[in-house]
A = this chain, B = another copy of it.
Amino acid sequence: MTTGIETTEGTEERIFEAARKVFARKGRDGARMQEIADEAGINRALLHYYFRSKQGLFEAVFAHMFEQYMRSFDAVLEPGQPFPELLRRFVDHYIDYAIEHEDMIRLMMGENLRGASILGEALAAAKHSESSLPNRIEHAIRAAIHSGEIREVDPSHTLLTIVSACIHFIVMKPTVQAMNPDAEADFSAFTEARKQHITDLLLLGMQPVEVAS
Contact = CB atoms under 8 A, between A and B. Distances in A.
Interface of A: 27, 29-30, 106, 108-116, 119-120, 123-124, 126-127, 134, 153-154, 156-158, 160-161, 163-165, 167-169, 171-176, 178-180, 182-183, 193-194, 197-198, 200-207
Contact of A114 (B27, B120, B202, B204): B27
B178 A127 contact: yes
Contacts of A197: 153-154, 157-158, 161
Contacts of A114: 27, 30
Contact of A169 (B164, B169, B198, B201): B164
Contacts of A158: 197, 201
B174 A119 contact: yes
Query: Oligomeric state, in number of copies?
Result: 2
Contacts of A161: 165, 197-198, 201
Contacts of A153: 197, 201
A13 to B, nearest CB: 27
A176 B160 contact: yes
B30 A174 contact: no
Given A201-B206, A204-B204, A168 B163 contact: yes
A180 B157 CA distance: 10
A203 B207 CA distance: 12
Nearest to A111: B174
B27 A113 contact: yes
Contacts of A198: 157, 161
A126 B179 contact: yes
Contacts of A200: 205
Given A160-B176, A168-B168, A204-B206, 11 more contacts: A106-B113, A112-B171, A113-B171, A116-B174, A119-B178, A156-B183, A157-B193, A160-B165, A167-B168, A171-B171, A205-B205
Of A108, A154, A171, A201, chain B has the most CB atoms within 10 Å of the CB of: A201
A155 to B, nearest CB: 10
